[in-house]
Structure 1
Amino acid sequence: MTDRLVRLTWVQPEDLVGHELRQAAEDGRSAEVAGIAARWHSAGGHDAPPRAGASPGPATPELRRLAGELLDELAAIPSPLPEPSGPFFPEPSGFPVVPLSAPGAPSPVAATGRSTPVTADVGGLSERLLGAWLGRAAGCVLGKPVEKIPREGIREIAEATGNWPIRGWFTAVGLPDDVAAHWPWNRRSAVNSLAENIDGVPEDDDLNFPLLALSLLERFGRDFTTADVAAMWLDELPAGRVFTAERVAYRNLLDGVEPPGTATWRNPFREWIGALIRADVYGWVNPGDPRTAAEFAWRDARLSHTANGIYGAMMVAAMCASSLVASSVEEVVAAGLSVVPAGSRLARAVRDAVADAESEPDFERVVDRLYERHGGLHWVHTINNAALVAAALTHGRGDFTASIAGAVAGGWDTDSAGATVGSIAGGLLGASRIPAEWALENRLASSLRGFDGIGFDELTRRTLAVWPSR
């Protein structure tokens, strides 16, 4: 009997070289790595798989050894761009820290001296926090069945089922056979994320990571370290449930690499979206304090990411912190940009996306411009998805449906972008103002210990319990 090959995705050296060469082109090292690229291709090495995590078959031992050598050579060439991975934090931005006061509520948030305190009603914040949890779930579930389907396929499916512009869950009911064959659903999500089969909230890494962040804060407190994040991963996350940069960092931990080296050792995915999807809870536990939220996100993100991969997490944490107290999308986006280096590629991409969304009434044209600027990036890169998140929020102007629909219709990382936009829009609106058509059963599936079947009311209570005290 011949053993079937196990092609573990995202870690095979022969697959990583192409991704690292593309990363080099993005971070200003093209000229320096041209000779390495020529050596790789002349030896029979291939470019990065465009969407899959692994090429169909393994490399020869000789090619795999060469891949490892070239990855190390590439890692030794620094990027010339002014995009530090830290530790760095912007100067105080003037956004208010929110003291809490209500009978039986957590102790008030301490004024740190970095911001001007304002008062806030704990009941109102609790309603907005519940909205953020529910919004994240709704945006994630909307995007799940069309993950990996390109933008044009998402529109064709929606139009064929009378759901364009997107105003409800995707459905296979009434979908013509030829459209279904041309644009197959995400095979893992079609069974639990279409209108006809949604029963509670299905498991997803975009929801598991917020649960893990909550558990991290419960176990280690607000002074958690990057090493504590690593310990949580090893204790709670099966290796097969993490992907791209997280899988590489996990492998590096098992090889004895210490953080933050886990983010850079043979990790060409270090500016992809993984850290961004882990950041929401760090904002929710710092309502109105985007700077502290960003610092929490930095401690987490540096385990697996660098530069713009870290900035995306910091931006989202800051936006989530602001969303619980702000009165407008503009305030939220400003909070997100306030913690990102102004000269970074991510900051420029977000500013351009916001400008387009403010001036162009047709959101499809806004997304056209995003693709003109960022269409060469991988579909799960941080920069293009962060720009789409900002554009969808800005163009949606507080309309929950328009916001999550825009993020999903953009066609990149549909469930992740939908979840992040849903989180922020839900925090701005509060649970009672999320439209009824996005209601889900108060039950979340998860393989994480202690969370399977948990309700969003309980998640809100537990999140409130780790808010800061005097």
Structure 2
Amino acid sequence: MRLTWVQPEDLLPHELAAGADEGRDVSAVAQRWVTAGGSVLPPVGGASAEPAGPELRALAAELLDECDALPPAGSADEPTELAAIRASWPTSYALPTGPADQDRVHGGWLGRSVGCLLGKPVEKIPRAGIREILTATGRWPLAGYFTGVGLPAEVAARWPWNRRSAPTSLAENIDGMPEDDDLNYALLALRVLETHGREFTSADVAQAWLDWLPGGRVFTAERVAYRNLLLGLAPPATALRHNPFREWIGAQIRTDVYGWVHPGRPDLAAELAYRDAVVSHVRGGVHGALWVAAMTSAAVVASDVDTVLDTGESVLPPGSRFAATVREARSLGAEAAAGTTDWESVLDTLYARHGHLHWVHVRNNAALVAAALAYGRGDLVRSICAVVGGGWDTDSTGATVGSVTGALTGAAGLPTEWTGPLRGRLRSSIAGFDGVTFAELAERTGRLSARRRDTDEPGAGGIVSATSEPVLRTPQARTEGTSA
């Protein structure tokens, strides 16, 4: 068995790329690695083709320690600390507040699932491959779930489906929403809120991972953080040791529920997203989590996508690379929506700007999300087809764009040709959630949104300690097939 996302020889090339992106001098480390016979090219997937020998693996672990000891990256424009991030937030928001409309929360759950499902079979397939598959099956431009029917063998061999996802996510196979980490984390956030309330800590999130989240269903930064938990580290240190994925997309896919339970209060939603994100991410990885939580907070009460995008940008450090990325991408998407350019030209520009980043990095994928939302103008189908057709982390970006546009629309207004195949339910590897219905999830989420706390006033959220309790306890007994 070849373990993915944790072997030192696989982590080090990613760390060299991450350090260079952050502006740290990793040249001496890179030279030692190359001299010893290592490669500086990061594996595209979770592991290189062949495991390293014991000496090279030991050197990789040593060099990862050296990278961790380098001077901290970033600047005042790229904060990870919540107090610094909060400093630029508005003191109030011109958004309706109060318990969430259950139909719109239902739409958020459905939209997240539809967008994720659309992107699942082509995850890791580049943009050119996606277009060739669609063209070969007479389905370009993208306007429905992918299918293998009529796909020529040579095209299938050149661009193989995601083998884990294709059996349940191609149009001819869909029977309910299949299990996916992009939905597992939303379910886990719901459980954390139901168990601990809004005052949960990062330690509570970490413990929920150990109690309820199978280790084999976490990837990239989450797998590294999971390993660090088992080594005895506590958040936020879990995000820092041997973690080259600290500014990848993982935290951004975990925070929709925090927005749905704080309708019209993006500040409170972003605070909860922060506590979750720092278990595994720093800087841009955390900023992405706050951005999505703020957008979903607005999406269940706003009437247009520009309000949602404005709200998301309001919680970002204004001088950060993440904020600059989504602002530029949003402008490009708006130009395509206005007809002054076309969507393919927008994608060309985004790839020119961000194509050097790994397909699971947060900035390139956030750029796609922002551009697709601005281009789609709140229409779920137009938006998710645009973002998934753009490539990179297709199921994750499809899920986020679907979540926002689904909540803007509401479940009753979503097209049945897209929601019908979900059969009103989803699979999950989170115990107690397998087979849960979207209607039940909407009801439980709505119930949480109605539990207003006494401090729910602008600026009164406060900062909850990330490590206010020990993390490693014996995992709780799991009861399969029962409601959480």
Q: Same fold (TM over 0.5)?
A: yes
Instruction: Report what 2:188 is aligned to.
Output: 212
From 153, 158, 165, give the equivalent of 1:177: 153
Provide Cα deviations, 1:221-254, integer angstroms capped at 9, x if missing partner: 1100000000000000111110000000000000
2:284 aligned with 1:308: yes
Instruction: Report what 2:442 is aligned to.
Output: 460
Provide Cα deviations, 1:190-212, integer angstroms capped at 9, x if missing partner: 11111111001100001111000
Q: State the distance in 1 between where 2:82 and 2:328 align.
A: 27
Instruction: Report what 2:397 is aligned to.
Output: 417
Instruction: Report what 2:89 is aligned to.
Output: 91
Listed as ranges, the matches of 1:26-425 within 5 Å are 26-29=21-24, 32-77=25-70, 78-81=72-75, 82-88=77-83, 89=86, 90-96=88-94, 98-100=96-98, 125-360=101-336, 361=339, 362-425=342-405
Q: State the distance in 2 between where 1:63 and 1:99 align.
A: 56
Which secondary structure does the structure 2 equivalent of 1:275 belong to?
helix
Structure 1 stretch displaced more, 306-315 or 90-99: 90-99
Contact 2:259–2:295 (8 Å) recurs in 1: yes
Contact 1:93–1:338 (8 Å) recurs in 2: no
Task: Please state how far the C-alpha of 1:80 moved relative to its aligned partner.
Answer: 3.9
Instruction: Give the 3 Å change call, closer, same or farther, for CA 308–393 of structure 1 in structure 2.
Output: same
2:434 aligned with 1:441: no
Q: State the distance in 1 between where 2:53 and 2:397 align.
A: 38
Q: State the distance in 2 between where 1:396 and 1:87 align.
A: 32
TM-score normalised over the length of structure 1: 0.91
Q: State the distance in 2 between where 1:336 and 1:430 align.
A: 20
Instruction: Report what 2:2 is aligned to.
Output: 7
Instruction: Report what 2:12 is aligned to.
Output: 17
Task: Please state how far the C-alpha of 1:277 moved relative to its aligned partner.
Answer: 0.5
Contact 1:15–1:48 (8 Å) recurs in 2: no
Task: Please state how far the C-alpha of 1:397 moved relative to its aligned partner.
Answer: 0.8
Which secondary structure does the structure 2 equivalent of 1:222 belong to?
helix
Provide Cα deviations, 1:252-280, integer angstroms capped at 9, x if missing partner: 00000111000000100010111000010
TM-score normalised over the length of structure 2: 0.89
Task: Please state how far the C-alpha of 1:283 moved relative to its aligned partner.
Answer: 0.6
Q: State the distance in 1 between where 2:97 and 2:126 align.
A: 44
Which secondary structure does the structure 1 equivalent of 2:55 belong to?
helix
Number of residues paired by the alignment?
A: 441
Q: State the distance in 2 between where 1:99 and 1:61 align.
A: 58
Q: State the distance in 2 between where 1:295 and 1:80 align.
A: 21
Contact 1:17–1:48 (8 Å) recurs in 2: no
Q: State the distance in 1 between where 2:28 and 2:169 align.
A: 46
Unaligned 5+ runs, structure 2: 454-484
Provide Cα deviations, 1:303-334, integer angstroms capped at 9, x if missing partner: 00000000000000000000011111111111
2:419 aligned with 1:469: no
Unaligned 5+ runs, structure 1: 1-5, 101-107, 109-121
Which secondary structure does the structure 2 equivalent of 1:16 belong to?
helix
Q: State the distance in 2 between where 1:438 and 1:388 align.
A: 21
Task: Please state how far the C-alpha of 1:48 moved relative to its aligned partner.
Answer: 4.0
Q: State the distance in 2 between where 1:234 and 1:213 align.
A: 14
